[in-house]
């Protein structure tokens, strides 16, 4: 199959889904005819605003790993396909963060930049999320900040970033790379970024650990594919599920690795795994995240409620006669798995498009 034919097949599949789900059966044939001609002439096609918007929502609905999909219809679309420069895109990202943060009452949104031209590189945002903390390798082998971000932090240095203040929570600049151009660095304005300092409802020493996390998770390195068209820069956000911060970002050994510290402060014996100090520290870290976000008026969902919402979504999808592709290992929360209803459900996974796909880290392939 040549590329053109592949695009045609995908366009056909998506346009038929789109018109069917919207109940607009009459619209399908003329639109498919138009799209067919455009693909024959250019190898791709420009999607209508509504086709784009619906496609992004279905991409969310189709993503097997996301537990938050009950909300799929509520995704706000920022159609930014007309922007032509890295500076303009940077401005749009700033606006995305501001709009989605909404003073703490988080709104789900996606900003969609110009699609990839077939056979050419697409626009890339290097950051895995728009807001991420730097990871610095110290000369003694230890790491300050987010260990997962060490490689990207290093790449940014090579691009000319001077580095931050050297705290464990230095916000990384944004790197935007236009097709066939060098990547460009942009510092985010501090005043648009809401962060939540972490305290604990019972342990007064907790606040003194100086921990915090940002309010808004905006995934910015995935490719959105709709009807054979690839949007390589299409950052999207929902709100956090508490365990993403409390269990994974702060708890994982390969991230902030804070369980030993928290457990020691709690007075637990961290020499004996049998005494479940990791489990106790993990729960209290998550309690701190949930209660701190609540106190600061920032939207967040706990994993029990999220699991229940997902069960609700499952019923919705069954009623709509649609399959529910789901990856059990990602849907089940990393904390207290068996205490959530999703643990006791088995899921079939399958790859449906539209969807979001991982892309190669650009600093590994770029030659500039």
DSSP 162: -
Q: 199: Cβ–Cβ under 8 A, 6 or more apart, which residues?
A: 206, 207, 288, 291, 292, 295
Query: Can you tell me which of 247, 262, 298, 326 binds its own copies, judged by CB under 8 A?
Result: 247
**Binding of its own copies at residue 283 (CB under 8 A)?**
yes
Q: What distance in Å separates the CA atoms of residue 52 and residue 64, rounded to the nearest whole number? A: 20
Q: Active site includes 205?
A: no
Q: Active site includes 239?
A: yes
**Binding of its own copies at residue 68 (CB under 8 A)?**
no
Q: Active site includes 328?
A: no
Question: Torsion angle, CA of 240/244/245/250, rounded to 10 degrees?
Answer: -170
Cβ-based burial of 243 (10 A; exposed 0-12, middle 13-18, buried ≥19): buried
Q: How many residues touch its own copies (CB under 8 A)?
A: 36
Place of tokens 């971000």: 149
Query: Can you tell me which of 273, 312, 320, 350 binds its own copies, judged by CB under 8 A?
Result: 273
Q: Write the DSSP assignment of 98-147 as a string of letters.
A: HHHHGGGS---EEEEEPPPPTTSPPPEE-SSBSS-B-EEE-TTS-EEE-G
Contact flags string 343-362 toward its own copies, x per CB under 8 A: xx------------------
> Closest approach of Cβ 352 to ligand HEM, in Å?
12
Cβ-based burial of 30 (10 A; exposed 0-12, middle 13-18, buried ≥19): exposed
Stretch in the footprint of its own copies (CB under 8 A) among 42-50, 139-147, 218-226, 275-283: 275-283
- 29 interface partner picked from ligand HEM, its own copies, none, CB below 5 to 8 A per type: none
| Total count of residues recorded for the chain | 368
Q: Active site includes 81?
A: no
**Binding of its own copies at residue 254 (CB under 8 A)?**
yes
Question: What are the distances in angstroms from CA 134 to CA 20, 127, 276?
Answer: 46, 11, 31
- Please pick, among 81, 195, 244, 330, the residue that the annotation labels catalytic: 244
**Binding of its own copies at residue 328 (CB under 8 A)?**
yes
**Binding of its own copies at residue 305 (CB under 8 A)?**
yes
> Closest approach of Cβ 336 to its own copies, in Å?
5
Interacting residues toward its own copies by CB under 8 A: 243, 247-248, 251-252, 254, 259, 273-276, 278-280, 282-283, 286-287, 290-291, 294, 302, 304-305, 328-329, 332-339, 343-344
Q: Point out the residues that are catalytic.
A: 66, 69, 239, 244
């Amino acid at each position: 199959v040549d590329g053109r034919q592949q695009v045609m097949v995908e366009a056909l599949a998506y346009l038929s889904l789109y018109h069917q789900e919207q109940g607009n059966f009459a619209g399908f044939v003329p639109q498919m005819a138009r799209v067919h001609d455009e693909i024959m002439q250019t190898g791709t096609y420009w999607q209508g605003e509504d086709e784009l918007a619906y496609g992004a929502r279905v991409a969310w609905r189709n993503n097997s790993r996301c537990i938050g999909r009950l909300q799929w219809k509520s995704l706000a679309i920022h159609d930014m396909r007309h922007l032509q420069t890295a500076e303009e895109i940077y401005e749009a990202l700033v606006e995305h963060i501001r709009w989605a943060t909404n003073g703490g009452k988080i709104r789900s949104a996606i900003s969609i930049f110009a699609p990839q031209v077939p056979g050419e590189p697409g626009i890339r945002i290097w950051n895995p999320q728009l807001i991420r903390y730097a990871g610095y390798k110290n000369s003694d082998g230890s790491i300050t900040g987010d260990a997962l971000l060490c490689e990207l932090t290093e790449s940014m240095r090579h691009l000319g970033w001077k580095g931050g203040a050297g705290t464990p929570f230095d916000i990384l600049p944004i790197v935007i790379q236009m097709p066939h151009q060098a990547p460009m660095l942009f510092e985010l304005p501090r005043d648009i970024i809401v962060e939540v300092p972490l305290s604990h409802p019972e342990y007064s020493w907790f606040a003194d650990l100086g921990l915090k996390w940002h309010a808004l998770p905006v995934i910015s390195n995935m490719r959105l594919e709709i009807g054979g068209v690839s949007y390589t820069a299409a950052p999207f956000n929902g709100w956090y599920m508490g365990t993403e911060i409390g269990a994974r970002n702060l708890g994982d050994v390969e991230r902030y690795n804070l369980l030993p510290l928290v457990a020691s402060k709690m007075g637990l014996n961290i020499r004996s795994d049998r005494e479940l100090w990791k489990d106790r520290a993990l729960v209290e870290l998550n309690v701190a995240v949930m209660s701190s976000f609540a106190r600061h008026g920032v939207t967040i969902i706990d994993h029990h409620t999220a699991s229940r919402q997902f069960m609700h979504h499952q019923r919705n999808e069954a009623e709509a006669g649609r399959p529910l592709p789901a990856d059990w290992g990602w849907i089940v929360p990393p904390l207290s798995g068996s205490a959530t209803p999703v643990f006791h459900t088995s899921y079939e996974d399958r790859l449906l498009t539209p969807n979001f796909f991982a892309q190669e880290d650009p600093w590994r392939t770029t030659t500039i």
